[in-house]
Chain A
Amino acid sequence: MLSEHLSQDEDSDTLSGELDVTRELEELAIDFITQLCRAGSGSKNILDGESSESEETYPHKPSINLEMADRTRTDPVTGLHSSKFITFPKRSSTASVKFAQLFKVVNCMHEAVIDGVPVTKRDIFYRDVPLFKDQRVVDTIVDDVAASLKLERSDLNVRATSKGIFCGSTLSINLTSGDTIRGNDSEASLIPVGEEVHTYSVEEDLGWILIVEKDAVFQTLCRLNVTNHALLPGRGLIITGKGYPDMATRHLVKTLADSLSRTIPIMALVDGDPYGLDILSVYKYGSSRLSHENEKFAARRIKWLGLLSSELAGFGIDKDALIPISQHDEKKAFKMLQRPSNIMPAKWRKELVHMLHNRRKAEIEILSSLVSLNTNPDEGCPPQTDLSQRIPLFKYLHIKISQFVKSSRAQ
């Protein structure tokens, strides 16, 4: 009896929670419709009253302004977002499209909340591809609505499709559905969205975690079985968000960072260019665009393993192997150099400044195109029976991961 009673309460809590969310979404629509009506009736009055005297000047052009949170600008003190407006009419011909896109998304969210069936951002996009044209439009609107209504995306029952993958048999992910994703040392496994995860479990002999910017590099490392390799200091885990990481990937990294001992280093291998550093910055400090969810996902203890332009000379890589920077790189670098020091460490600044001065950047591909890597002959590598040792990328990681593991254990 008691349990029934409790579950009823729980249900009614959920129900009232859902009602709140649906009401919020409905308020947004009501606001719009109200403004639309007002604008329509307003203009009629003006025309009736003054058309004979001044046909050329309208005293006040009626318009619709929908207030949304501007996620790129947050008050540093209150943490509140400043506002942006979706307005009609506007100079651009796409003004009304913005409203159509917004309400299509809101409609999907509304359905999802009422039905209880979660919808992914990809699903929403596919409901009307000609209207949205690009996945990013949907992504942005979903996050804007969440920020404006001060809700989490999951409250709106919208789930991100995850694109991140991991490799390594030390990690298993137990899902709320009861299934388990078991990591593998030679193949990638998909990282599930945070809402589906019940627990992560990690085997005791996990020695290191490497986050990799690019899918191609991840695949190479997977094929080399780096997560369970005789030459590396213990078993490892490699993760990639395939570029800028989504929430699911950041959630995994954050959880590992917080739960695991500091003797297990979490390192990032990114290109030695502004975009690589920016990706590292998202893992480490959070994303500037989703600041309302930041602290939950910032993995502060992640370290920059490489690739640093400054260390390449030490590996015998000629300056001519470095790639010329583009105008995009320049603009991005200067923008990043304006960030405050709490999210732009001195070491990163120095790399960006030197990159701009050299007018060259270091991409991980440089290691792939090499025939051999100059390393200290006393490194103690056994004769080349293992194919992986001939690959400069592997040699580089062997040296660097060993260094990081050693210094993590020393602390």
Chain B
Amino acid sequence: MSLAFLHAHDCSEAQTDSVWGVSWARNDAVVSISADGSLKQWASSTGEPYLPPNATAEYQTPSPHTLGLVSLSVSSDGRRALYNSLEGLTSLWNVETGRMEGTFESFMREEGMGNAEAAWSVSLNPSGSTYASAGSHGNLTIRSAEAETFGQKISTVFSGRNKFGMCCSFSPDGRRIALSSEIGHVFILDVESNTFVNTFTSHAMSVRSVAWSPDSSLLMSASEDKRLILYDVRASSGNAGGAVATFSGHSSWVLCADISPDGRYGLSGSADKSIKVWDIAARAAVSTVQDTGEVWSVSWRPIAPAVGSVGAFVSGGEDGVVKWWRGAGTGA
């Protein structure tokens, strides 16, 4: 079975360097972050800059940072955008008001602590009160996401390996956090007990991105070993390696992944300049979309498509252009 996806449109103005993160939220706006340090947002219907309802004349996206932005986590309703820069400046921006709710310099040494572990990847708790961050030494840290106490450390758990944390992600039900490392390990933290309950070692090369299924039961990892692996998080325990499927086909590093809102399709972007759509149940690729440069980020439209249609997704990559794609035959 194969599906076709068509290029619907692009954002109205490219960012001046690679797009390293995109996120399509329920308000149908897409937020994108770039190597040029800027955060932008776009209305999905037109690709024009997005303005929230009741936006004042002064409404603006944050002014660009001096260094690139490497991690983005947007609340599912699209109201708040958490993002992190190359050197570890974590910021929380309120999309509706256009105001910064908090910033935290994770690279600064905290009192009484050893060396600072600058954050690389950040993920907002679905509840909105905290966020998780992964840093260079294998720790998963939970910090406050409330405006008054933004960045305040709540807990740190060591994964057991002093390796660079490439990605962390809260499960949609907020009960688990996945952490992936530069040497390929994927760890699952149980939030309530604040302990790591799983370690998956199916990859031996860096896992740059992980994505949860909407029901929080499956996790998909994207690795520099050119494969994606699907883990059943609930069925396995300990280090038995809950891998249930491997998706091969990319000819270079897989850089990003996402799972569709109905849980049926995986989505991946690669350094081989293509985007692949995977049928999870069939364990096979059903579509390959050719892009012009490395694809660093992909995101499904979070609203489940009408029965019979396959939905839409957005991608961002080397050329700094955010692109919308929709399943062929789905009409307008």
Contact = CB atoms under 8 A, between A and B. Distances in A.
A137 interface: no
A353 B271 contact: no
Given A337-B67, A359-B164, A359-B182, A353 B253 contact: no
B17 interface: yes
Contact of A354 (B35, B164, B252): B35
B35 A319 contact: no
Contact of A334 (B70, B87, B253, B271): B87
Interface string A345-384: 0000010011011010000000000000000000000000
Interface of B: 17-18, 20, 35, 66-68, 70, 86-87, 164, 182, 206, 224, 252-253, 271
A353 B68 contact: yes
14 contacts: A319-B224, A319-B252, A319-B253, A319-B271, A320-B224, A337-B66, A350-B35, A353-B17, A353-B35, A353-B67, A353-B86, A356-B86, A357-B20, A357-B68
Residue from A319, A320, A353, A359 having most chain B Cβ neighbours under 10 A: A353
Interface in A318-349: 318-320, 334, 337
Interface of A: 318-320, 334, 337, 350, 353-354, 356-357, 359
A353 B224 CA distance: 19
A354 B18 CA distance: 9
A223 B206 CA distance: 39
Given A319-B253, A353-B17, 14 more contacts: A318-B252, A319-B271, A320-B224, A334-B87, A337-B66, A350-B17, A353-B35, A353-B67, A353-B68, A354-B35, A356-B86, A357-B68, A357-B70, A359-B206
Q: Is the contact region of chain B dominated by helix, strand, or loop, or is it mixed?
A: loop
B192 to A, nearest CB: 33
Contacts of B253: 319
Nearest to B70: A357
Contacts of A356: 86
Contacts of A357: 20, 35, 68, 70, 86
Nearest to B86: A356
A373 B253 CA distance: 20
B318 to A, nearest CB: 9
A397 to B, nearest CB: 26
A334 B20 CA distance: 19
A4 B17 CA distance: 70
B38 to A, nearest CB: 13
Contacts of B35: 350, 353-354, 357
